[in-house]
A and B are shown apart, each in its own frame.
Chain A
Amino acid sequence: MHTTTEALITQSDRPTRRNAPRPRSRRLNSSVLFVVPALVIVGGIIYLGVGYNLWVSALDWDGISEAEFVGLDNYAQVLSEPVFWQSIVNVLIFGVATVVIQMILGLLMAIVLSGPVIGRSVYKVIMFLPVVLAPAAVATAFRQIFSPDGAFNAFLASIGLDGIASAWIADPKTALWVIIVANIWQWTGFSFILYQAAITQIDHDQLEAAQLDGAGRLRTIRSIIVPQLKGTHITLAITGVIGAFKTFDLVWLITGGGPGRSTEFLTTYIYKEAIQQFHTGYASALSIVLLVIAVIFTAIQMRVFRFGKD
């Protein structure tokens, strides 16, 4: 037997008929005009840039003087470099930690603030504010906070935990987590906003029906709200992972990839190789590898989520 809730859900899934579609030819003309500017950017700048990068990755070049064609040598070198694998590990840890924690925290706050809370709109602004801050400002602030005489250690001392106070950024075991914390602080607001918008789209009738069926708050969240936010989950997971691969400023400004190379990310590694060590060809190969990895991850995720939808 269907519960009221299930009946309502299946009903809303059925597509509704709207106006009949316009004749194809007329639709195509105006559509093309709208697409042309975006095509100019994407084709002209991005794809051309990627193509040039691909070419340079086959060269032994310092960016200034004569270049020498070396084929796949740079790629072979990439795969044999321990720093490369270290940076992959760092990005993966960073990616998983930040995406998962940001999604959980964002969802929690969105659920809490979807209820009757005094000063709700103020909290929403506060939640989203870090997202619009410049990463440079965030990085500087967190460097201060986690410095040996910074706010975090002072806080630990105030609650009697000064035994574990340490130089968080200078310790290879904890430096990555400082970067992760900074990223979570800055980007949870983004997850929050997306979840918040999606929650408002949930059919109130379903929630009422669930109440009628005797579901408690937690059961409602688990069985109705969270599954209905699937689209947002997917969006956040995909953009989160891509964002993790692209993260540069926080890493560069907080630890510079150090101590040693313990917090090296692919992006900082590329920067050092290209700009500081003048290995333009090798850095281009790294960039192509980064691109390939990002595309593979995205493809995997889209596959997984599409199967999940069935």
Chain B
Amino acid sequence: MHTTMKRRMLAVPVAALAAATLALTGCGSTDGGSGSGDGGTTTVTWWSWNPDQATAKPYIEAFEKEHPDIKIEHRFIQYSDYASTVQLGVQSGSGPDVFGTQVGALTTQFAPLAEDLAPVFEEELGGDWADLITASEQLTVDGKLVGAPWMITGGGIVWANQTIIDELGLTMPTNRDELVDFCAAVQASGRDCITQGAKDAWQNIDVFQVIANQIEPGAFYEAIDGETPFDSDTFVESFAQWKSLFDDGIFQDGALGMTAYPDASDSFRKGEAVLMINGTWENSNTTNARMKDFTEIYGEASGASIYMPYQVPALVDGADTDFLFGGPDVGFAVSASSKVKDAANTFVMWLTASEAGQNIMADRVQQPSLRSVSLNMDDVITDEQRAALESQAPLLADLIGARQIQSADVQTSLGDALSAVASGQMTPEEAAASVQKAIDAAG
């Protein structure tokens, strides 16, 4: 029949078109794939959560000026999505050549996907390279240097909007009673006291370390490693103290629904909260350059404020608050599947082992990993800020412990426990026991 013939003839091209469409979608765009560009320039793709787009620019510009035959393609990924994105990218072969890595699970799990950078360092800095940089052992897995330490940071600092504090006629509290009164006054002015991104496990774990180190200095690190029990009085009390920060309204309402970045930090930078417990990675808050960025993003008031780093007030009577926990907060790894390893190595060495690269960080008052480079305080706004940053140096040189937990399971268990305690789903005793269980299972 006429119509049947027509239908059959249509069937073939339609089926072919459908199949062709499938094939085309199959070979879709590769994200972040690297290779040599044209005209002799090599393109190196670089993924990081730190630096972000704004902070990465000076590094890229300076490097490309020194090495005109290498072009850097940077991609910023928010920390909360970072691990998954990089893992998928590197494993599927369409990932970055250079990627940021952090002490802890991120390094231990990604070790097989990264090149050993020890020989690269040896070539660059000589046989004693390990003495010339800080804490490279925190990024070493089974003798393999997975990431080149880039920035050394310490956690356990509370950043304060000094401008608003002065405006309200208050002084920075040094103990719990003062903190409670301080918070009452701040809240009466319609602001939050300490803003906490309690949806993010990492920030909760930071605060927990502050509390635990105040109660019993250094005990946290031994317990996490399984050397001493975690279900001990110290940590039960730490969990109880943690809960009280929520119950007593020191943390903002709804903290458990807010992320550290961007929710809590935006709130802090906009002056909606006066304090945020963070770390030395925010040191650039004391520079004019950063204040320019803030003005652009958050408005005049934000950029005109003075931000001061303080040690967290003693939440327990008589606690010693002079400590920082941390290590290489960011290191850079070269992907084992990179097609431009030489160029990638050059870039990583420039970032982490060259005075030129590390000086850019020093200019932003972040602690460089290269020991020969010290903080450049030229752009710091006030003398008080300068003094505060200088007081960090001895604490960073002698960290009370490593901030990141090596085992992903223990880290998750502690994060869950903190969230559960804060929301009343677990008692401090149950929380400590659950973490102990995870530590035992991780062996």
Q: Which residues of A contact B (CB under 8 A)?
A: 22, 26, 29-30, 33-34, 36-37, 40-41, 62-65, 143, 146-148, 167-172, 175, 254-256, 258-262, 272, 275-278
Contacts and interface: CB of A to CB of B under 8 A. Distances in A.
Contacts of A64: 87, 91, 109-110, 112-113
Contact of B419 (A168, A258, A277): A258
Contacts of A168: 254, 257
B420 interface: yes
A148 B253 contact: yes
Interface in B69-90: 83-84, 87
B412 A37 contact: no
A188 B112 CA distance: 47
- Could you tell me the dominant secondary structure of chain B's interface residues? helix
A167 B87 contact: no
A26 B408 contact: no
B426 A40 contact: no
Interface string B421-443: 01111100000000000000000
23 contacts: A22-B4, A26-B4, A30-B11, A33-B14, A62-B109, A64-B109, A64-B113, A65-B112, A147-B254, A148-B253, A148-B254, A167-B255, A170-B254, A170-B257, A171-B423, A172-B423, A255-B257, A256-B199, A258-B199, A259-B422, A275-B83, A278-B109, A278-B408
B12 interface: yes
Contacts of A260: 416, 419-420, 423, 425-426
Interface in B387-430: 408-409, 412, 416, 419-420, 422-426
Given A258-B199, A260-B419, A277-B408, A170 B109 contact: no
A300 B408 CA distance: 39
Most A Cβ at <10 Å: residue of B110, B113, B257, B408: B257
Contacts of A277: 408-409, 412
B408 to A, nearest CB: 5
B15 interface: yes
Closest 9 CB pairs of A and B: A167-B254, A169-B257, A260-B420, A170-B256, A259-B423, A37-B18, A148-B254, A30-B11, A33-B15
- Counting contact residues on chain B (CB < 8 A from A), the size range is 35 or more
A60 to B, nearest CB: 13
Nearest to A30: B11
A170 B15 contact: no
Interface string B1-33: 000100110011011001100100000000000
Nearest to B421: A260
A40 B408 CA distance: 38
B425 A275 contact: no
B11 A33 contact: yes
A261 B198 CA distance: 13
B72 to A, nearest CB: 26
A176 to B, nearest CB: 13
Most B Cβ at <10 Å: residue of A40, A146, A256, A276: A276
A169 B254 contact: yes
Contact of B412 (A26, A40, A172, A272): A272
B125 interface: no
Contacts of A275: 83-84, 87
A64 B88 CA distance: 10
Nearest to B272: A149
Given A170-B254, A256-B199, A259-B256, A40 B420 contact: no
Given A63-B91, A256-B199, A276-B412, A170 B255 contact: yes
A259 B418 CA distance: 9
A34 B14 contact: yes
B319 interface: no
B19 A276 contact: no
B165 interface: no
A168 B254 CA distance: 8
B105 interface: yes
Contacts of B83: 275-276
B15 A258 contact: no
Contact of A259 (B84, B112, B420): B420
A172 B22 CA distance: 44
Nearest to B14: A34
B8 to A, nearest CB: 5
A173 B83 CA distance: 30
Nearest to A36: B15
Contacts of B7: 30
Contacts of A276: 83-84, 408, 412
Interface in B242-262: 252-258
Given A29-B8, A63-B91, A147-B254, A37 B15 contact: yes
A278 B253 CA distance: 33
Nearest to B17: A37
Contacts of A172: 423-425
A54 B40 CA distance: 47
Contacts of A148: 252-254
